[in-house]
Each structure stands twice: as C-alpha cells, then as structure tokens.
C-alpha cells in the first residue's frame, strides 16, 4: 500500500464519484479505478459499493477512511516538519564564544536578529577558548564559533569569516604608578608583570604582537575575567581588547595602549558543507549582516560629505 492509494481512496470517498474525484486529482478515471482496485486487493475485499448514480463505502471502507485520513495528516505533518528543518525554521544552533565577542557587541546582535527571524530555533551558547571552539566544530559538538583571531592555530579545514577589530588597552590597578598616565606605550610596560590572554599555556600569540620588550613575568589566562581579576589584585598589568573597558571592576582602571599596530579581530567559525538547516540559516545571516554594515558605512560617508558641503 502506498500513500497515493490512500489519497485516491479518500478523494473518491469524499466525492462519492469516480469522475469528480479523478478531475480533482488530475488523473484519468481509468487510472483512479486501477489504483482503487489495487487498494482493494491489499485490503482483501471491496471498500466501495458502486451503483449507477454514486459510490458508497462498505463497512471496511468506512473504517479505512478514518485511518487513511489520520495517516495522510501524519504524512503531511512529517513532510512539513522536514521542510521546516531544511529551511532553517526549526532545530538548534550550538554556539561557542569568547568573552570579547560579547563585549564588542557582535554576538548579541547576531543572536537577537536570528531569534526574531527564526523564533522556533533553539540557541545554545557556551563560553569557550578558541582552541576548544575549533575542537568542538571538528568533533560536531559545536556548530559555530565566535573567537579572537589569536590562539586559533591551524583552521584550514573550517570556514573563517573576518569580523570586527578592536584595539588593545591596559587594565591596571588604580593605585599602580602606571594608572597616573593618560595613555601607555610598550616601553612603559617594560619590567612589569604582564597578564595576557592565551588559548593554552603555550600560546604566545599576544606576546608576539607586543614585540620583544623585557617583561618581569607573564601570566597567561584563558578568560577575560581572569585577566581583569589579576590586574585588579595588583598581580600584573593586563593587556586586553579595548572593548573590555565595558566591564567595571573595583580598583581597576583602563589606559589606551598607543604607538603600536597590534589589535584583536573577532572572527566567526563554521564548518564547510553544513547540512543542518538551522545552522545554515544562522551562518547565511552573517553574509546579510556584512552587506548591511557596508551599506550603512557608505550611507554614513555620504552623510558626512553632505554635512561638509552644507558647511
């Protein structure tokens, strides 16, 4: 028995006429009769009593009609659910992020926009260092990642999209001598204990950007809050993304780091050839955002030019 047998049977049962049912189904009457006979063969007896004027259901037909309608509704529901998944309207997206992705605002913006467009998709977020995000994507326990570009290692098997950049600042205890300066240079930090973000104990990506100044010591931490706590405690001066200044801790001040090109870029990570509809929809929303950001920047430039002309 196939679903089309049930659909043909239900159409005849509802119209009580083979000709009208065939027209509704867009098949010939002979084709419809053949399919109904095949169904009756499966049942083992007639489901219709045919008269010269109309078609009546047998007792078996009456019982079959109830179950056939139920089966067809369930089949349609199953197909609809599968289609919703393919379109990214249902399912879940598992997101790994580093603290800087929250502070610079990109992650919250992306989640808000996606949730409004796909309210039935579950969003699961986990704060993870870069190396753990890469591992999760490769193992399948994570779908997308938001990470600083330092500490990622080799990610040639993943899709990396460039994101927002933020400069570096120094977080220092308020009574530290360096806190009196309006801004700091790398030379000012010579001889200090540095607190830097690191993906693991062997990650020197931030130190490599800072150059070859002679530090008294280096504390490597895998989280933004850990760096700030050590700086607030006076255990060192923390090199942090400027966006971190949004976190206010007691006894901690921030000073801009000048005279250097080092900065941090937040990148997004995903797998190539993603199959899950919800994940594909989430990733595709990044492209739309990039277009909107570029368009907004162009409009802002036009506005500034207009102001200058008016002035």
Q: Report residue 289's pLDDT band, with 50, 70 and 90 as the boundaries.
A: very low
Average pLDDT value for residue range 120-144: 91
Residue 307 is predicted with a pLDDT of 39
Residue 165 is predicted with a pLDDT of 78
Q: Report residue 2's pLDDT band, with 50, 70 and 90 as the boundaries.
A: confident
Over residues 224-249, the pLDDT tens digits come to 888 899 999 999 999 888 888 888 88
- Answering whether pTM is above 0.85, one says no
Q: What are phi and psi of 49, to 5 degrees?
A: -110, 115
Residue 299 is predicted with a pLDDT of 43
Q: Report residue 305's pLDDT band, with 50, 70 and 90 as the boundaries.
A: very low
Q: Report residue 209's pLDDT band, with 50, 70 and 90 as the boundaries.
A: confident
pLDDT for 141 beyond 90: yes
pLDDT for 300 beyond 60: no
Sketch out the chain's domains with CATH numbers: 3-86 (1.10.10.10), 92-163+265-310 (3.40.190.10), 165-263 (3.40.190.10)
* 160 alpha carbon, distance to own chain's centre: 14
* Token code pair at residue 266: 């937040």
Q: Report residue 202's pLDDT band, with 50, 70 and 90 as the boundaries.
A: low
Average pLDDT value for residue range 128-137: 89
Q: Note the helical H segments in 156-276.
A: 205-210, 224-232
Give 215's contacts (C-beta < 8 A, 6+ positions apart).
189, 190, 191, 192, 193, 194
Mean pLDDT over the full length of the chain: 82
Region of poorest pLDDT, from 17-21, 98-102, 121-125: 98-102
Average pLDDT value for residue range 148-168: 81
Residue 61 is predicted with a pLDDT of 87
Residue among 191, 188, 151, 152 at smallest CA distance from 170: 188
């Amino acid at each position: 028995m196939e679903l089309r047998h049930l659909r043909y049977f239900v159409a005849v049962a509802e119209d009580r006429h083979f000709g009208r049912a065939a027209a509704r189904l867009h098949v010939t009457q002979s084709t419809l009769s053949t399919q109904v006979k095949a169904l009756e063969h499966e049942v083992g007896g007639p489901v219709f009593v045919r008269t010269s004027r109309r078609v009546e259901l047998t007792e078996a037909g009456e019982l079959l009609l109830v179950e056939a309608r139920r089966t067809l509704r369930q089949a349609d529901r199953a197909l609809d659910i599968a289609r919703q998944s393919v379109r990214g309207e249902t399912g879940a997206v598992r997101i790994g992020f580093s603290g800087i992705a929250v502070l610079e605002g990109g992650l919250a913006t992306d989640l808000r926009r996606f949730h409004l467009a796909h309210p039935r998709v579950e969003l699961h977020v986990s704060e993870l260092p870069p190396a753990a995000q890469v591992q999760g994507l490769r193992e399948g326990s994570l779908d997308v990642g938001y990470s600083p570009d330092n500490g990622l290692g080799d990610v040639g098997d993943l899709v990396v999209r460039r994101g927002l950049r933020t400069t570096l600042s120094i977080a220092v205890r308020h009574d530290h001598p360096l806190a009196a300066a309006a801004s700091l240079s790398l030379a000012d930090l010579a001889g200090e204990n540095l607190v830097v973000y690191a993906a693991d104990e062997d990650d020197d990506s931030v130190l490599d950007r800072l150059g070859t100044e002679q530090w008294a010591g280096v504390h490597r931490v895998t989280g933004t809050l850990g760096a700030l706590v050590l700086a607030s405690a006076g255990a060192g001066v923390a090199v942090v993304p400027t966006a971190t200044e949004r976190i206010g801790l007691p006894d901690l001040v921030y000073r801009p780091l000048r005279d250097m090109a080092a900065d941090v870029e937040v990148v997004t990570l995903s797998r190539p050839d993603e199959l899950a509809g919800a994940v594909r929809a989430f990733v595709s929303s990044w492209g739309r955002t990039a277009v909107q950001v570029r368009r907004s920047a162009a409009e802002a430039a036009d506005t500034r030019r207009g102001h200058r002309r008016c002035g």
